[in-house]
């Protein structure tokens, strides 16, 4: 994975985790659940992209 794409995934993943903490501070359970699911899905998508790129590059 190139550095720009890795940085994008890192920043977006961190922003989603920050949204979870903000939702907790608001006390809104539905937002916490929404951002938790989005965060897990986005991080998982990052691992999938990394694996596909690694497989395509042969290493």
% of the chain with per-residue pLDDT over 90? 92
pTM: 0.84
**Average of pLDDT values for 26-52?**
95
Cα–Cα dist 37/4, whole Å: 24
What per-residue confidence (pLDDT) applies to 59? 63
Query: What are the C-alpha distances in Å from 7 to residues 3, 4, 37, 41, 42?
Result: 6, 5, 21, 17, 14
What is the sign, positive or negative, of the torsion defined by CA atoms of 45, 50, 51, 56? positive
- Cβ-in-10-Å burial (0-12, 13-18, 19+) of 50 comes to middle
Residue 2 φ/ψ, nearest 5 degrees: -75, 165
Statement: residue 43 has pLDDT above 80: yes
**Mean of the per-residue pLDDT values of the chain:** 94
């Amino acid at each position: 994975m190139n550095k720009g794409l890795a940085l994008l995934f890192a920043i977006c993943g961190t922003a989603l985790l920050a949204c979870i903490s903000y939702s907790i501070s608001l006390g809104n359970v539905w937002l916490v659940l929404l951002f938790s699911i989005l965060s897990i899905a986005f991080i998982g998508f990052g691992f999938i992209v990394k694996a596909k790129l690694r497989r395509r590059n042969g290493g």
